[in-house]
Amino acid sequence: MSVQADPTLPAPRLRLRQYLPSLILLVLVATLLTVMWAYMPNFFRLNNIINILLQASILGLLAIGMTGVLITGGIDLSMPANMALAAVLGTMAMRSTGSAAIGPVVMLAVGLALGAVNAVAVARLKMIPFVVTLSTMTVVSGTCIWITNSVSITGLPPSYTHTLLAKPFGIPVGVFAMVLFTVIASFVMQRCVPGRWLYTVGLNPRAARIGRVPVDRVIAGAYLAAGLMAGVTAVLLTARLGSASANMGADALTLDIIAACVVGGVSTFGGVGRAYGAVFGAILITVLSNVMNLAGVSFYVGLVIKGAVIVAFVAAEHRWRH
């Protein structure tokens, strides 16, 4: 039995418009992959693809955290700074105690605590998300530089790096983590009530409030999750770099995270987006960075191109949705 179409909805045209951004994205990916294939035939070897995924995993994990915040209509600019502080404090804890187990615990705790600061400021004190996280970003990165004196902190316990750099079945732990968190985040956001509340809050906070959705708690949850993801990323990135430093939270990373989300179809106006889209966006941004490297584009021009890509995608999204 077929479902009768609702005559009040102009369904077909809307559908095409909805899928246009994804189509453009596919064309872009195809172009990039062709360029890669032309420049470097080895690109499509399994080993290299796993490498790219490993590179993308840091960005992907941060993008998952950012997706939740963007869906509520907010933004978290402090994620890279939070990640850097978590990594620095965790590494210091490991160095002073000599125990590998304490590092991840401290990193996750610091990430959560900083996420809680954002959560309280946005959800309870009703401050503007962008400015709150801009100021936490400044305070946190300032603290980070202050603690480390801009020197990177080394001396990780061997068992820490050994465990996190392992490759079970030839696939690095970082890639496993990215897949795992993508699945968890997608499940929570698509199938669980709090996840659906997230979209409700983003689409129309007033309607959500009238519908007895605990708006403040949902928003707080999104910022907490972003803080947690910053902590998770800190654990993996510290292992990969073999040290922790204030530079881990560079401003350019913030741009990459937002680029990944926007390219992956997460709306900056809230209410729209999927976690796997953001991860896909992260992979695309990583490939794009690699292509630009390969083509000899300087880092600075690369920034210009990424900035332009973000703005173009948001402009396109706005046109197609309205």
Which residues of this protein are in contact with other proteins, per CB under 8 A?
75, 121, 125-128, 130-132, 134-136, 138-139, 141-143, 145-146, 149, 206, 209-210, 215-216, 251-252, 254-255, 258, 262, 268-269, 298-304, 306-308, 310-311, 314-315, 318-319, 322
Nearer to other proteins, 164 or 257 (CB): 257
CA distance 92 to 238: 12
Nearest distance from C-beta of residue 33 to other proteins, angstroms: 25
Nearest distance from C-beta of residue 138 to other proteins, angstroms: 5
Nearest distance from C-beta of residue 12 to other proteins, angstroms: 25
Nearest distance from C-beta of residue 27 to other proteins, angstroms: 21
All residues at 6 or more sequence positions from 43 whose CB lies less than 8 Å from its CB, including other chains = 33, 36, 37, 49
Q: Hunting for tokens 């294939």 — which residue is that?
A: 37
How is residue 92 written in tokens?
Answer: 């210091």
Nearer to other proteins, 190 or 298 (CB): 298
CA distance 186 to 22: 18
Nearer to other proteins, 64 or 140 (CB): 140
CA distances from 120 to 123, 158, 219 (A): 5, 37, 9
8-state DSSP, 244: B
End-to-end CA distance of the chain: 33
Q: Are 111 and 223 in contact (CB under 8 A)?
A: no
CA distance 29 to 4: 36
Nearest distance from C-beta of residue 265 to other proteins, angstroms: 14
Burial class (CB in 10 A: 0-12, 13-18, 19+), 322: exposed
Nearest distance from C-beta of residue 317 to other proteins, angstroms: 9
Q: For 21-175, where are the E strands, in sequence order? A: none
Nearer to other proteins, 248 or 257 (CB): 257
C-beta atoms surrounding 157 within 10 Å:
18
Q: Determine the distance from the C-alpha atom of residue 258 to the mean position of all C-alpha atoms in its chain, rounded to a whole number.
A: 7
Nearer to other proteins, 1 or 125 (CB): 125
Nearer to other proteins, 140 or 239 (CB): 140
- Residue 247, classed as helix, strand or coil, is helix
Nearer to other proteins, 101 or 128 (CB): 128
Nearest distance from C-beta of residue 254 to other proteins, angstroms: 8
